[in-house]
Chains A and B, each alone.
Chain A
């Protein structure tokens, strides 16, 4: 699960686009819905704490290879490459376009989260408030989402046009060959479950049921690294303490369920 660091009021649009639905065109602005919260650590040379930069080298001669003189190749068998010329590669690039083309509408439940790659919000371009609001209302009322495609920075995307908290959103989807479908796998068999066990499991899940709150699931590691940096900055010696995970008992299933319910209740 991503952490609770979604952008509520996105600062700056990343793309001016146009929703193309049948004959209609609606100007929109695309905003990132996910914040990059990686801690940025730089690689330094230990001796002098100077930044290091990358260079491309020929592994045989050690000589630097300039980016302009590199070529791109696909390895067809170990050590053998088919070289693709820049001209051939640019012929494969999609035509740049501002259009997010909505191809059809499907029920909301038609796609589950496995398909989601990255969400974006769509805000109205100048003068398009009413059109965007009408589209959001229509999607909400019909319980549908649009299947769309667009091209951004030389990449072709497929995505879902949805309503999220009253806002139009576009979720970039994974490609079909990236998702492993359940039919590739086999469901576990075995003898039927006993009613007694089912009831205990039901009770235990019930006892542990609550509401999901982002605050309960913070990135503790990031916080600890930031504290470490702060302590080092103040010149404190660092005591190395290990975090411990708890041990799990070894019980019979029914006993474990019963004792867990007692503990949770």
Chain B
């Protein structure tokens, strides 16, 4: 589960950009959900507020082909296909093997809720706590609940602390 604290002031609507803007790699919603607090539900779209920049270099074989990364078993010295890999947690000299199903069973359930649990004075949040910023834009037809919460939070200098589940 991941968390974010956000300020209403960073909530702006994403413009319906045309093809030209798309080519410029403008912001794109990565997630659609509901901002919920009390019994109020505000439909929202989530945009990354930061994007990766810079050219990425690829590793090439001497003949110019991009190389592929493969997994090799340290016992057999043979390539291991992806579906024969498991995850293990090192304990002493061995491993406790965790299957995908087991990891899935303790993973937070997929949820469409950004669960606002608490409002705090915005300046009470230590800037060192911030990890990654996203922008919430109103989703769906009605923008009124969104504007209401954004306006009141901004006016009162409040930040909401919410929990939400976002899977990469």
Contacts and interface: CB of A to CB of B under 8 A. Distances in A.
A87 B102 CA distance: 49
Contacts, number: 331
B55 A74 contact: yes
Contact of A116 (B38, B89, B90, B130): B130
Most buried by B among A65, A216, A250, A261: A65
B98 A41 contact: yes
Contact of B153 (A45, A49, A205): A205
Interface residues of A, number: 105
B50 interface: yes
B50 A114 contact: yes
A190 B51 contact: no
Interface residues of B, number: 105
Nearest to A251: B39
Contacts of A81: 58, 60, 64, 66
B37 A260 contact: yes
B40 A65 contact: no
B18 interface: no
Nearest to A187: B12
Contacts of A2: 128-131
Interface string A30-62: 000110000111111111111111111111100
Contacts of A69: 61-62
A7 B96 CA distance: 29
Contacts of A257: 38-40
B41 A74 contact: no
Interface of A is mostly: mixed
Nearest to B75: A50
5 contacts: A40-B90, A57-B79, A65-B67, A180-B47, A208-B118
Interface of A: 1-3, 6, 33-34, 39-60, 65, 69-75, 81, 83-84, 113-114, 116, 119, 164, 169, 171, 174-175, 177-180, 182, 184-190, 193, 197-198, 201-202, 204-205, 207-212, 216-217, 219-221, 224-225, 227-229, 232-233, 238, 240-246, 248-251, 253, 256-257, 259-261, 263-264
Enumerate the 4 nearest inter-chain pairs by beta-carbon distance, A residue then B residue, closest first: A260-B38, A245-B111, A224-B106, A113-B130
Interface of B: 1, 3-5, 10, 12-15, 26-27, 34, 36-41, 47-76, 79-80, 84-91, 94-98, 101-103, 105-109, 111, 113, 115-120, 124-125, 127-131, 133, 135, 137-138, 143-149, 151-153, 156, 158, 161, 163, 165
